């Protein structure tokens, strides 16, 4: 596996790990509403920043363009499907955010479930199909070049140290909510 696809796959692991935390939080009937609001607010921040801005940003701004240039179809093809799913994920995050603002925990949970199911399926498609295609059409030099662009994107668009801060957030949930 190339350096760029491996980096995205590592991020998938972090997102999947957060989705298992979502499972636990949503199925635990012992959680107080205040705890759910706190978790929900931090989750929305994590998903907006890490899953969407950082991870989907790397895919949309760099990887997908490189794949389109190597002949993998956008409209009516796998890239178009991935982009559509990113858009849908953004809508679910916005609905989660909106539900928290209106103090509607049931609506928050309903949208968190929609997002969780969408993302699990999306990540599986990328890992098992799109990244396999990417590894076939991108040689090591292109993968290394993409990886460099990812690193620069993280520094300039996401900000120095934010990636580490987001990983720390996951560990903090586990301690704070006794997961």
DSSP 47-96: IIIIIIIIIIHHIIIIIHHHHHHTT--STTSHHHHHHHHHHHHHHHHHHH
CA angle 96, 86, 3 (to 5 degrees): 120
Least Å distance, CB 7 to Fe ion, is 11
Of 126 and 154, which CB lies nearer to Fe ion in the complex structure? Answer: 126
Of 82 and 146, which CB lies nearer to Fe ion in the complex structure? Answer: 82
Fill in the per-residue mask, 78 to 117: x = in contact with Fe ion (CB under 5 A), - = not in contact.
----x-----------------------------------
Cα–Cα nearest to 124, from 22, 15, 27, 47: 15
Of 44 and 55, which CB lies nearer to Fe ion in the complex structure? Answer: 55
Segment lying near Fe ion (by CB under 5 A), choices 16-24, 57-65, 135-143, 159-167 = 57-65
Least Å distance, CB 103 to Fe ion, is 31
Q: Which of residues 115-144 bind Fe ion (CB under 5 A)?
A: 126
Q: Which residues contact 169 (CB under 8 A, 6 or more apart)?
A: 42, 46
Cα–chain center distance at 47: 6
Of 13 and 104, which CB lies nearer to Fe ion in the complex structure? Answer: 13
Which positions lie near Fe ion, rule CB under 5 A?
59, 82, 126
């Amino acid at each position: 596996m190339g350096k760029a696809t491996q980096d995205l796959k590592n991020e998938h692991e972090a997102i999947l790990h957060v989705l298992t935390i979502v499972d636990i939080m949503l199925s635990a009937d012992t959680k107080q509403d205040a705890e759910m609001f706190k978790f929900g607010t931090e989750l929305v921040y994590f998903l907006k920043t890490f899953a969407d801005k950082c991870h989907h940003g790397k895919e949309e701004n760099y990887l997908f363009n490189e794949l389109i240039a190597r002949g993998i179809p956008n409209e009516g093809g796998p890239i178009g499907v991935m982009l559509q799913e990113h858009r849908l994920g953004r809508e679910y995050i916005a609905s989660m955010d909106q539900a928290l603002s209106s103090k509607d925990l049931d609506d928050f949970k309903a949208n968190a479930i929609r997002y969780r199911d969408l993302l699990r399926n999306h990540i599986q498609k990328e890992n098992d199909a799109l990244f396999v295609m990417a590894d076939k059409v991108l040689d090591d030099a292109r993968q290394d070049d993409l990886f460099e662009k990812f690193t620069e994107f993280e520094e300039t668009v996401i900000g120095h140290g934010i990636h580490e801060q987001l990983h720390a957030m996951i560990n903090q949930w586990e301690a704070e909510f006794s997961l």
